[in-house]
Each structure stands twice: as C-alpha cells, then as structure tokens.
C-alpha cells in the first residue's frame, strides 16, 4: 500500500505524546476480569445505546497522546514544520473533538523554521507528550527537537497561553511524560533502547536517567513511548511502526525491571485502504472504562485517529476489544455525562473576524508576523521574493477533512502587484494550486501543477502552468476538492468562479501522492508570494470547508 514503515529507518518515525494526568485522582481498581469495580454513574446509561464510527477524526492528527482532566479529554499530535505546533484537542466524550490551541506557539528552534536560508520540512514537532499535573493545576508539553535537546512548555489552560518552562540537554526521543501519584515526574523515551528519566520536582532539569529495556531483534523497532502508572504498576506503551503495539509492565517501580507483551500486530484497521492502528495512548473515563486512541496511516490525507475500548486481564495487561477479529468500524459510544456544550466543528466557514487566527489554522513554517493580519478577512502581504512556493513564507494551511471535502476561498486580488502569485494550494511534497497571476497589467486565474520535492525535501519542480483564464473585477472564488481516501491513488480538482455561484473547472485532475515519507498529509493552503518585489497583498474574505 506504500504506507508501511521500513524497519531499517527507525529514527525518521515520529510519535506523539505520552500520557500521565489520566485522571485527576486515583485510578479505579479493577476486578479479576479487568472491569472497574466502581460502577458507572446511572446518569451515564443513556449514552450506552449510541454508537460511534471510526475514524473519530478524519483529519491528520498523528502520534496521539490523550489524557483526561476531570470531565474533559485532551489530546496532542505531531505537526512537524507547521507553526504553531503541537495542537491541543479537546473532547467531552472521546468521539467529538475540537482544537483548543497549540502547546508550541512558535518554532523558535533555528532559522530553518523561518524559511530563512534553510527549511525545516519534516523536522520540528515529532512525537511529544501531553500531561496534566494536579498539584499545580498545570498542563505540560514535552518534546525533543532535531535530536538536540528537549523542550518543556506549560499552561494553566489547554487553550493557552503556553510558555517555555525549560530546555533539557538530553533529547528525549518519542517521549512519554508521567506525573506519578506522588507528584514525581518521569519520562520514558528512546528508539529500540528504552530509557526512563526522572526530572527535578520543578520539571526543569534531569535528575537521573537509566536504560530499562532493549528491544529483541525478533521484534525490530520499538518507540513512541507513553508512560502510565495504573493500580501500582508502571506501564510503557510502545509502538512497532507501523503495524504493532507492545507494552512493558513493571511492579518494581518506574525504573523496572520490565516485562514485555504484545498488544496488537498486523491488526486489520477500521479505515478501508488504511494501515494498522498504532502509536496512541490509553485513557480512562470517569466511570472506569478504558480506551485506546491510536492512529491509522491513511495517506494521502495523513494519519487519522481511531478509538477502541480496552479491557484488562486478571494479571494486569491491556487487551484491545475487537469486532470480528479487527479494530471495529464502530463501537458503543463511551458512557460519559452529557457534554457541557457542543465542541467547535473542524469544518465550516471562517471569515477571519476577531484579532487572532482560529486554532484550526497552522502556517507552513513560522510566519513573518508583520506581513499578515486578520479582522475583516485575512490579509496576506507578500513576504518572500521567490519563484518557489516551498520557499514562500506566510503560507497558511488547513487540514483536509476526509474522506472527501471541498475548500472554497474568496480572494480579493486588487492589491496584487506585478509578478505576484496568490491562491489556494493542495500542499505536500507533490503540490498543485489554483490562483491569480498578476503580470504587468494582465490578471489571470491559473492552475499550476508539478511542484515537487525529493526525499531530502529539496525542491525538484517549481510548477508548470497547465490552464488559465482571464478574470476581471477585484475578487475571484477559488475551489479545491480533494478525495483523501487511502489505498489507490486519489485525485483532486480545481475550479474558480467570478460570482461565487457558478464554478468553472480549471486544469486536469491532480493525483494526490500517497507515499508516507513526508508524514504529514495534504493540506489546503492559502498563499501569496512575489516574483519581482515585495509590496503586494491579497485579502481572503471567506474560507469554507465543506463535506458532501
């Protein structure tokens, strides 16, 4: 399927978070059959009849860490070179999610993340960890950058503001942060060789680190640590990318010794054409039920979250509940209290009102904040003189909603200047766009494809104009429709309108590449750049993301 993970390249894989603040208080004890001994509240019973369908989010959120704080669930995900990084998702039922904010406000890890003389494609925010510390009512995000060092950010609310707490010299690869029941902080991390570090009480420095496990050659690679303490036992949840999940268990403390058991291997997943569910986290509901939130490789759209219930053996090992020998396409909905409100949809219309971007948006690398604004639409002023979209700063991206969705952007191009390009792209290592070209006094809407990168993320194709039409007036509506079902090669189509009602197809179908090596899936992207000189601008007055 072109999306399996080659085991001879373990260090390229990301993994997301770990998990600790599973609950704000003691975990419920299990009986011999692995059931919680405390019965769910009777008010929760009404939800039992309902079902949910996988994937629970059909957008690209990989390497998931999931925790519960009181009655609210939070998750974090990898974002690589997109900024802000490490989104924080919020849910009240584990099924319906919204984006609350981002743990890493800016990728201030070097000029390459600014597209300043270098590029950070497929670097940045890899496997990282989200935890909650009840003692100081604080969220923690922890992750390593560029195999150089580890960064810790904190916030008292998931939506932020988040700020950097510390930098630690040890790069905790694929880290899982545990807030233990005595408030001690531990980190499980590593690839194949798994280690545990203890942090100082303030979380700013490493006190101790020790190797606790070496993966047998018969298994290959294990990474993607999540770290838990459940019923007095310590668990390190580990991924064999991209088709397995294993768990280490210790009754002797966080430093082991640990015993290994397989959780799943080559399990059929719930997304047709997609991969094996793996690399996620465990979380317990208020009523004592356990769930595993993992992801499925589903390129070209990326890696999408799937949810399954978990039971426990009498001797304390987690077991994923299957449907006909596979991860279920649907399960009974988690029995939880009615949500206090509906979550904010991840699709719909944005008119870019207010003073900040909504958290559904992320920039391709860090933006130049002097050259964009919101309020009465999104204004993008040219920030780069280039003929290569992959070098253009202030390209604003939005995840594609699966299995198919359509993005429509209303673009006011009246302030464009000679040589400017602006439009709506399908952005990945093989890209295409529809947009406006201003050349002298001539304004045309064009479809351009053939934007490509090699496996080191250097530009190998800057694009070829394959269709065009003349436009008048000051506004044009640009549309891209993408089919991101995994498996066979899918295609996208571009069209435009001069009145917002009647759309005209422009250019051929664009095949969406489904190779996994870029890790992130395709995104819709709004952009402008100059080929001659800075000074031009466009305004996006409306963006719609809709599903059939």
Q: What share of the chain is helix, strand, coil (3-state, %, to 5)?
A: 5, 50, 50
For residues 144 and 176, the answer to whether their CB atoms sit within 8 Å is no
Picking from 166, 209, 250, 237, the residue whose alpha carbon sits closest to that of residue 18 is 237
Nearby residues of 165 by Cβ (< 8 Å), 6 or more positions away: 140, 152, 153, 154, 203, 204
For residues 527 and 425, the answer to whether their CB atoms sit within 8 Å is yes
Regarding whether 369 and 319 lie in a shared domain, the answer is no
Query: pTM, whole model, 2 decimals?
Result: 0.91
Nearby residues of 296 by Cβ (< 8 Å), 6 or more positions away: 55, 269, 270, 271, 274, 275, 276, 277, 303, 304, 306, 486
112: phi > 0 → left, psi -120 to 50 → alpha, else beta; which?
A: alpha
Q: What angle do CA 189, 195, 197 make, to 5 degrees?
A: 85
Instruction: Report yes or no on 343 lying in a domain.
Output: no
Per DSSP, the three-state class of 227 is strand
What is the domain-level CATH number for residue 63? 2.115.10.20
Cis before residue 300, ω within 30 degrees of 0? yes
533: phi > 0 → left, psi -120 to 50 → alpha, else beta; which?
A: beta
Relative to beta strand 523-530, strand 430-439 is unpaired
Regarding whether 314 and 424 lie in a shared domain, the answer is no
Instruction: Report yes or no on 310 lying in a domain.
Output: yes
Domain boundary among the residues 282, 304, 332 is at 332
pLDDT of residue 210: 98
Which 8-state DSSP code applies to residue 440? T
Regarding whether 506 and 457 lie in a shared domain, the answer is yes
Picking from 337, 349, 366, 468, the residue whose alpha carbon sits closest to that of residue 112 is 366
Regarding whether 324 and 285 lie in a shared domain, the answer is yes
Picking from 31, 14, 65, 546, the residue whose alpha carbon sits closest to that of residue 292 is 65
Nearby residues of 401 by Cβ (< 8 Å), 6 or more positions away: 58, 59, 346, 347, 545, 547
What are the beta bridge partners of residue 4?
A: none
Domain limits for position 490: 348-546
What are the beta bridge partners of residue 88?
A: 76, 101
CA dihedral (104, 140, 16, 97) in degrees, to 10, reads -80
pLDDT of residue 49: 55
pLDDT of residue 548: 86
Instruction: Report yes or no on 446 lying in a domain.
Output: yes
In total, how many domains does the chain have? Answer: 2
Give the separation between CA 1 and CA 312, rounded to whole angstroms.
33
Instruction: Report yes or no on 90 lying in a domain.
Output: yes
Mean pLDDT in each 10-residue stretch from start to end of the chain (548 residues)? 32 30 32 34 50 98 98 98 98 98 98 96 97 98 98 98 98 98 98 98 98 97 98 98 97 98 98 97 98 98 98 98 98 97 97 97 98 97 98 98 98 98 98 98 97 97 98 96 95 97 98 94 98 98 96
Regarding whether 225 and 321 lie in a shared domain, the answer is yes
């Amino acid at each position: 399927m072109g999306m399996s993970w080659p085991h001879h390249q373990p260090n390229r894989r990301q993994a997301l978070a770990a998990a600790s603040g599973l609950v704000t208080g003691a975990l419920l004890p299990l009986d011999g059959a692995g059931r919680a001994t405390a019965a769910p509240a009777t008010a929760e019973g009404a939800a039992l009849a309902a079902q949910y369908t996988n994937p629970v989010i059909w957008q690209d959120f990989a390497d998931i860490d999931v925790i519960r704080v009181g009655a609210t669930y939070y998750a974090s995900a990898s974002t690589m070179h997109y900024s802000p990084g490490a989104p924080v998702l919020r849910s009240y039922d584990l099924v319906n999610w919204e984006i609350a904010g981002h743990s890493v406000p800016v990728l201030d890890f070097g000029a390459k993340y600014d597209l300043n003389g270098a590029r950070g494609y497929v670097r940045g925010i890899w496997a990282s960890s989200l935890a909650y510390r009840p003692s100081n009512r604080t969220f923690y995000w922890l992750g390593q950058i560029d195999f150089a060092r580890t960064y810790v950010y904190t916030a008292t609310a998931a939506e932020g503001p988040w700020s950097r707490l510390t930098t630690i010299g040890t790069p905790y690869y694929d880290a899982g942060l545990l807030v233990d029941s005595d408030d001690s902080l531990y980190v499980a991390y590593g690839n194949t060789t798994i280690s545990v570090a203890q942090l100082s009480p303030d979380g700013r420095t490493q006190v101790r680190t020790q190797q606790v496990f070496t993966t047998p050659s018969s298994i290959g690679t294990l990474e993607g640590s999540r770290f838990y303490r459940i019923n007095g036992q310590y668990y390190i949840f580990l991924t064999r990318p991209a088709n397995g999940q294993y768990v280490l268990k210790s009754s002797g403390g966080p430093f082991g010794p640990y015993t290994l058991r397989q959780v799943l291997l080559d399990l059929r997943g719930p997304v047709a054409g997609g991969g094996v569910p793996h690399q996620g986290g465990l979380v317990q509901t208020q009523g004592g039920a356990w769930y595993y939130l993992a992801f499925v490789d589903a390129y070209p759209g990326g890696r999408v979250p799937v949810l399954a219930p978990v039971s426990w053996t009498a001797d304390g090992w987690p077991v994923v509940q299957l449907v006909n020998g596979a991860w279920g396409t649907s399960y009974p909905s988690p029995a939880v209290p009615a949500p206090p409100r509906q979550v904010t949809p991840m699709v719909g219309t944005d008119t870019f009102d207010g003073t900040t971007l909504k958290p559904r948006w992320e920039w391709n690398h860090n933006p130049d904040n002097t050259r964009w604004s919101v309020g009465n639409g999104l204004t993008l002023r040219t920030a780069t003189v280039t003929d290569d979209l992959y070098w253009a700063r202030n390209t604003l991206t939005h995840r594609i909603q699966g299995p198919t969705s359509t993005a429509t952007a209303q673009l006011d191009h009246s302030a464009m200047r000679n040589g400017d390009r602006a439009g709506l792209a399908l952005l990945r290592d093989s890209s295409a766009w529809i947009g406006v070209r201003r050349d002298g006094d001539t304004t045309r809407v064009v479809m351009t494809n053939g934007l490509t990168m090699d496996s080191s993320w250097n530009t190998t194709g800057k694009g070829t104009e394959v269709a065009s039409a003349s436009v008048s007036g000051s506004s044009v509506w640009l549309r891209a429709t993408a089919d991101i079902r995994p498996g066979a090669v899918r295609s996208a189509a571009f069209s435009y309108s001069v009145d917002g009602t009647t759309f005209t197809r422009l250019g051929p179908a664009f095949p969406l590449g489904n190779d996994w090596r870029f890790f992130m899936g395709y995104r819709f992207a709004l952009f402008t750049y100059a080929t001659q000189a800075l000074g031009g601008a466009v305004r996006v007055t409306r963006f719609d993301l809709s599903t059939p």
